[in-house]
Structure 1
Amino acid sequence: MAVYFTKDEGSGKVLFDWWENLDQDRASRAVLRRASSPTEIALLPAYQRLCRRLGALNWKAWERDRFAVVVGVLSHIKANDARSPAQAMSKHEPVKPGDKPPVSELRFMRLLDSPDPDSLFSGMRRVLPLMRSVDVIVLANDLMHWGDAVKKKWAYSYEWPDESVR
């Protein structure tokens, strides 16, 4: 059974509420942000507490690894908005003529080449400081289901700069 989060119900509501409350739990946020891999995240009490709240202990191993990526990445996100991850990587708000994307085409392409949770986590940590905000639930679902379909969705959603802007 695949895991899909929605903001207003079930595990998605628990995840979103947890993310919103990270500002009050600065110690957990700091520890999660310092973790350098999904394995490190999985060993942290903050991650284990969230898993218990979700009842996620019966998830398959690949789901737990990907969920560790989700938790680690979300600990870096400060603001939620309606933009998809690819839109957040390709456009500043507000948009000004001649703006370069926050995440360059090359860096974006390298991120899309991420074959496993470890490299995805590493790539996301590099681009997160360049993004101001993103739809937290969409990002969580995309990271949980990372594969060709998500990569294509991101490639179609990324607003590639015009050749003339370069």
Structure 2
Amino acid sequence: MKAQRRYLDDAQHSWLRQWWRALQPREEGAVNLPGELLAMGRADRARLKRCSGLDDLLLESATHRLAGRLLTLEANKQWPRFSSVDYTPLALLAGALAQVTDDQANGASLAAQLGGAKPGETAPMSELRFRRLQQVRGIDDFYRQLVRALQLAKRKVDLAALAEDVLAWSLEQGHTSVAPSDGLKFRWARDYYLSAPDRASK
């Protein structure tokens, strides 16, 4: 199952996965990386993970390596979906991706992994904490709660789905043009409260 593409195209998703791989421990025979990512490694990941909010994330070189290419690719689109000069959504994305240790590539959203429990099972994230995540408005508050959510998901998520959701949260803030039933909050609520079979039937 492929994560739904709302903001990033195939080239952008490919770049963010290469960037993420550059943060991981490298072994002999590992996947080749573009030259501009070869200098990156676990130290970059550690610095990103220590960031407490947007201001810190914007100062990291790894953030700029991720954002620079994504923004260039965005500017070359016939119909760009976000500003080619705004680093805020991509800084949040860099911080979130750095928390992930395993790319599940299953198309499931973070909310689906945190909820959707079967009867008698306990969801990884309580409903109270999920509601708090849904209600945050400040960027730094959202980032802190997102990091906690990724920890509860054992840092194993679909990178593409996570990227689309982080961008959606950032770009939907203050925009009334997004229909309530099409926004991230609705999609996360559906994914959290419904099991996988129930979601598939909707």
TM-score by length of 2: 0.67
Amino acid of the residue matched to residue 31 of structure 1?
A: R
Contact 1:105 1:160 in 2 (8 A): no
Measured against aligned partners, the alpha-carbon deviations of 1:9-58 in whole angstroms (never above 9, x if no partner) come to 21211011111221131001000000000121011111112223334597
User: In 2, distance between residues paired with 1:154 and 1:4?
Assistant: 17
Contact 1:63 1:144 in 2 (8 A): no
Gap regions ≥5 residues in structure 2: 1-5, 26-40, 76-81, 173-179, 196-202
User: In 2, distance between residues paired with 1:54 and 1:156?
Assistant: 29
* SS of structure 2 residue aligned to 1:70: helix
Measured against aligned partners, the alpha-carbon deviations of 1:70-125 in whole angstroms (never above 9, x if no partner) come to 11011001112212111111158xx7x63211111010110001213222111111
- Tell me whether 1:155 sits opposite 2:189 in the alignment: yes
- Tell me whether 1:144 sits opposite 2:167 in the alignment: yes
- Tell me whether 1:27 sits opposite 2:43 in the alignment: yes
Which of 135, 138, 141 is the equivalent residue of 2:158? 135
Q: Quick one: percent identity of the two aligned structures? A: 31
Shift of the 62–49 alpha-carbon distance from structure 1 to 2, 3 Å rule, reads closer
* SS of structure 1 residue aligned to 2:100: coil
Counterpart mapping for 1:26-105 below 5 A? 26-56=42-72, 60=83, 63-81=86-104, 82=106, 83-90=108-115, 98-105=120-127
Say which structure is richer in helix: 1
TM-score by length of 1: 0.81
Contact 2:63 2:90 in 1 (8 A): no
Gap regions ≥5 residues in structure 1: 162-166
Shift of the 65–117 alpha-carbon distance from structure 1 to 2, 3 Å rule, reads same
User: In 1, distance between residues paired with 2:188 and 2:147?
Assistant: 17
Shift of the 22–91 alpha-carbon distance from structure 1 to 2, 3 Å rule, reads farther
